[in-house]
């Protein structure tokens, strides 16, 4: 979800105004995704690098998160959407963490779609943590080095129970992955749009889905092999 700050600037408003307006896009995209049958939607809300932004902006984002989770809770339940989070939640301000954990707890039995918030998340952090966990398992004899494979590695990531993304969307015209789901996005289709996040609404989401539907996902095989299977 990129471009909130630039969007605010075009309106002559402070960056936080952009973040507030970005919440409407979160609501619309979540709704659109659930409606078309997406099972997992992960939103990159705050990276481990975002702490280096001005304190006033960081605080505003943390407060916005608390307010949004609280306000949207009943809608999430009404729409049968389960909330989850990935990232180092232990470093979030207490209020933010508690609101988030409450949201996760209150929606845990919902089954239509899982909405995952990536908060204080970065792929390199996650991969290093996985390496540490695996090393500890080897050290205490639970795991042999030869047993370490893609599956073991995936199971030690914070996305353990979340399938790899099929489509990765980045808004605001930046063509970077920015430390996001690096392991999980190995075969994801990438979609870039110039639309700034607060302007990214249902129709923009549908355009991304339509584009995805026209991709040929080969997973390393040839085009001919794929038509033999189908
Ligand atoms: C939102 O957009 C991303 C968040 C960290 C919430 P930005 O705040 O990165 O907006 P730009 O890139 O400065 O326009
Ligand atoms: Mg940005």
pLDDT digits 0-9 by tens, 120-170: 999 999 999 999 999 999 999 999 999 999 999 999 999 999 999 999 999
Which ligand 1 atom lies nearest to the CA of residue 47? 5
Closest ligand to the CA of 5: 1
Mean pLDDT over each residue of the chain, to the nearest integer? 97
Residue among 50, 77, 79, 179 flagged as catalytic: 50
| Distance from C-alpha of 103 to C-alpha of 84, rounded to nearest angstrom | 8
CA distance 198 to 170: 13
Q: What is the mean pLDDT of residues 212-230?
A: 89
| Residue of the CA atom closest to atom 5 of ligand 1 | 46
**Average pLDDT of 107-124?**
98
Write the CB contacts of 69 (distance below 8 Å, at least 6 apart in sequence).
83, 99, 100, 102, 103
- Ligand 1 proximal residues by C-beta, below 6 Å: 1-6, 19, 46, 50, 61, 172, 197
pLDDT of residue 217: 86
Query: pLDDT tens digits for 37-72?
Result: 999 999 999 999 999 999 999 999 999 999 999 999
What confidence score (pLDDT) does residue 7 get? Answer: 98
pTM across the whole model: 0.96
Annotated active-site residue 2? The verdict is: yes
Residues flanking ion ligand 2, Cβ below 5 Å: 2
Share of the chain above pLDDT 70, in %: 99
Nearest Cα to Cα of residue 169 among 139, 137, 131, 206: 206
Name the residue with the closest Cα to ligand 1, atom 9. 2
pLDDT at residue 26 greater than cutoff 90? yes
In percent, the amount of the chain with pLDDT more than 90 equals 97
120 is catalytic: no
Ligand with an atom nearest the CA of residue 18: 1
How confident is the model at residue 230, as a pLDDT? 60
Class of 4-121+170-179+188-229 in CATH: alpha beta
> 12 alpha carbon to ligand 1 midpoint, in Å?
16
Q: Which atom of ligand 1 lies at the shortest distance from residue 9's CA?
A: 14
pLDDT at 228 over 90: no
Q: What does the domain layout of the chain look like in residue ranges? A: 4-121+170-179+188-229, 122-162
Tell me the C-alpha to C-alpha distance, in Å, between residue 160 and each of 100, 102, 123, 125, 185: 19, 21, 13, 15, 14
Ligand nearest, relative to CA of residue 3: 1
Task: Grade residue 209 by pLDDT with cuts at 50, 70 and 90.
Answer: very high
**CB crowding 28-60: b at 16 or more within 10 Å, else e:** bbbbbbbeeebebbbbbbbbbebeeeeeebeeb
């Amino acid at each position: 979800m990129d471009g909130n700050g630039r969007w605010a600037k075009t309106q002559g408003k402070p960056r936080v105004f952009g973040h507030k307006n970005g919440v409407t896009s979160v609501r619309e995209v979540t709704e659109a995704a659930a409606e078309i049958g997406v099972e997992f939607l992960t939103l990159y809300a705050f990276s481990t690098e975002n702490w280096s932004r001005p304190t006033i902006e960081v605080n505003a984002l943390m407060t916005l998160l608390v307010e949004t989770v609280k306000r949207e809770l009943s809608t999430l339940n009404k729409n049968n959407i389960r909330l989850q989070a990935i990232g180092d939640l232990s470093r979030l301000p207490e209020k933010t963490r508690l609101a988030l954990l409450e949201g996760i707890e209150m929606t845990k039995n919902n089954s239509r779609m899982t909405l995952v918030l990536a908060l204080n998340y970065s792929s390199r952090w996650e991969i290093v943590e996985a390496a540490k966990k695996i090393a500890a398992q080897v050290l205490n004899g639970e795991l042999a080095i030869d047993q370490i494979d893609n599956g073991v590695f995936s199971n030690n990531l914070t996305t353990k129970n979340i399938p790899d993304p099929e489509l990765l969307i980045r808004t605001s015209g930046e063509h970077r992955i920015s430390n996001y789901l690096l392991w999980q996005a190995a075969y994801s289709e990438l979609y870039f749009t110039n639309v700034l996040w607060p302007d990214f609404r249902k129709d923009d989401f549908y355009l991304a889905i339509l584009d995805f539907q026209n991709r040929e996902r080969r997973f390393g095989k040839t085009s001919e092999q794929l038509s033999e299977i189908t």
